[in-house]
Chains A and B, each alone.
Chain A
Amino acid sequence: MAMSETSRTPLPHAAPRGFLAAAASQHGGLITAFFLMALIVPFLGSYWIKNFTSMIAVAIAAQGVALLHARLGFVSLAGIAMMGVGGWFGLRLAHATGLPFEIVLVLAALCTGAAGVLLGLPALKHRGLIYALITLMFAAGFHVVVSSIGFPDGGSGFWGRIDGSAERQLMARPAIAASDLAYFLYALAIAAAAFTATHIVTKSAVGRAWAMIRAGDAVAHAAGVRIGIARAKAFGLAGALAGVGGCLLAGSIGQLDGRSFDPVQSLLLYGLVIIAGPWSLAAALIAGFLYRMFPAILDSWGVDGDIAITIFGLALIHAIVSAPRGIAGQLHDLTSAIQNRLSGVDR
């Protein structure tokens, strides 16, 4: 019961000093990346446009993983599984109600947010490795269920599965974004909104509460922070982000395949978020890029895309050993070095 003032929340990945100040001015690069994608991707072929759309969907879910890691110090190894949950809700709601895509997206986000809060409940008692394993077991369980039952495809009943010979139905895309390209731009706009919302929340009273909890449970209590509620909000937001990502992915392909939601994918996404540097809002985009585009690029070069996993493993070791601020941090150093060079500042 005792909480001495020295019992700071153990947080092995506390933000490195110096980078914190930089984080504020760092969104320039992220905004540029969004604009560049909007300008360049339309000129790529359909294969790339679809891959970029998936990447954006994954990036939104990765934002939730980064949030839990950086703001709360919790390791979530269920990032892709939660995307699957979001996709399930999206498909189920779309087929059952025929509501416009936007409304389905919001509802899927809310349902997945609630699922995120539930998955956060064990965090009341467990943290560190134990909590990470709980999320990994959830990811594994989700994979088992969804690969045996399958994602909803327009059938009736709770699971919404078509039986027998009837044709599987695809989830309808938004009316304004029926083509692959329009849908990519649509997803990009949703991602921009989701990232902005995440930024606003971290700058609000909720974000301040998270920061106080990181500083220590005792000071958080003394400052009037309700720790359980503040944490639940983070788990809810992370779930909602995964829900948006999963629903966008379902809308992109029209249906989802349970086999692509195996727990290794969630594990991989977490590793990529760490490599990317979760302290930065841009990390999610970098993680999405590595997760989806890097293997696609290798494939297009005729190299086995699974090689990517090996390369990611090495990158993770590199990140842990020598780049604790991740790729986002290194990119930031690079851009500020260039800026200083251009403005003649010698450091």
Chain B
Amino acid sequence: MIDIDALTVTFGGVTPIDRLSLTLDGQIVGLIGPNGAGKTTLLNVLSGLVRPSAGTVRLFGKDIGALAAGQRLGWGVTRAFQTPQVADDLTASENIQVALDSLQVPRAEAATRLAETLERVGLAGHARRLGAHLDGFDLRMTEIGRCLVTGPKLIMLDEPAAGLAAAERTRLIDLLRGLSRAGTRILIIDHDIDLIAGLCDQVAVLDFGHLVASGDTDTVLADPKVRAAYLGEFEDDDAEARAA
């Protein structure tokens, strides 16, 4: 579903993505790599926030290079941010509703979808709470709700499990599994290898804007080059974790 060919992104003198070619397909796919590897930058390209200097990006077979971010939303591709981006002075519900505003959804249907989404992300009880007063997990869920409410084909999440408590992490995993079962494709960036190993069909590993490895999750995570890139980060404990 994601086909990237010779993609290059440069910011002034920095080249966070350098002639990257990559194909990923699966219900849930993962993107991992050390800090500064270019993961968020790639997600910014996929969501239309950063224009690549060269290369092409296809989603579901379509070259989306010409689509602006808002058009990608309408076309079924949405994203959340590494630091949740929630308007302080809108309620949780309004923060989600905003994504529907641009899509010309009839009023009644919009209300139904909004209510369903709030229920689904567990915010029904906090729907009228202002963004400024939401805790970390609810901020994440508000962002995911903003993605879901548009009924997307693909949602892209940037480190959604960062900073979550164990119980919250479990709720996140349940939510993502449920979405995936219902047919939504998910791209997830995370440093939590157990999470990636447990959820993803396919994984790509980036380092310094280059592809280290990609393919089926088990194969990729067993690759010595990948383990080297992650230097000890999950060397000892991943086997037990996945066995458990």
Show the binding face of A for B, using Cβ within 8 Å: 1-6, 14-15, 17-18, 20-21, 23, 205, 208-209, 211-212, 214-216, 218-219, 221-226
Contacts and interface: CB of A to CB of B under 8 A. Distances in A.
Given A2-B50, A3-B49, A20-B89, A223 B132 contact: no
Interface string B67-107: 01110011000110111011111100010011101110000
Contact of A15 (B73, B78, B89, B103): B89
A209 B78 contact: no
B49 A208 contact: no
Contact of B70 (A1, A211, A221): A221
A234 to B, nearest CB: 15
Interface of B: 11, 40, 44, 47-51, 68-70, 73-74, 78-79, 81-83, 85-90, 94, 97-99, 101-103, 130-133, 146, 158
B88 A20 contact: yes
Contacts of B78: 222
A208 B85 CA distance: 14
Most buried by B among A14, A21, A226: A21
A224 B94 contact: no
Contact of B44 (A4, A205, A208, A225): A4
B49 A222 contact: yes
A1 B50 contact: yes
B49 A218 contact: yes
Most buried by A among B50, B73, B87: B87
Nearest to A203: B94
B101 A205 contact: yes
A208 B101 contact: yes
Most buried by A among B83, B103, B158: B83
A14 B88 CA distance: 9
A208 B94 contact: yes
Contacts of B40: 4-5
Given A15-B89, A21-B130, A211-B90, A223 B49 contact: no
Given A208-B101, A218-B44, A226-B70, 13 more contacts: A2-B11, A2-B44, A3-B50, A14-B88, A18-B132, A208-B94, A209-B98, A212-B90, A219-B85, A224-B70, A225-B98, A225-B101, A226-B102
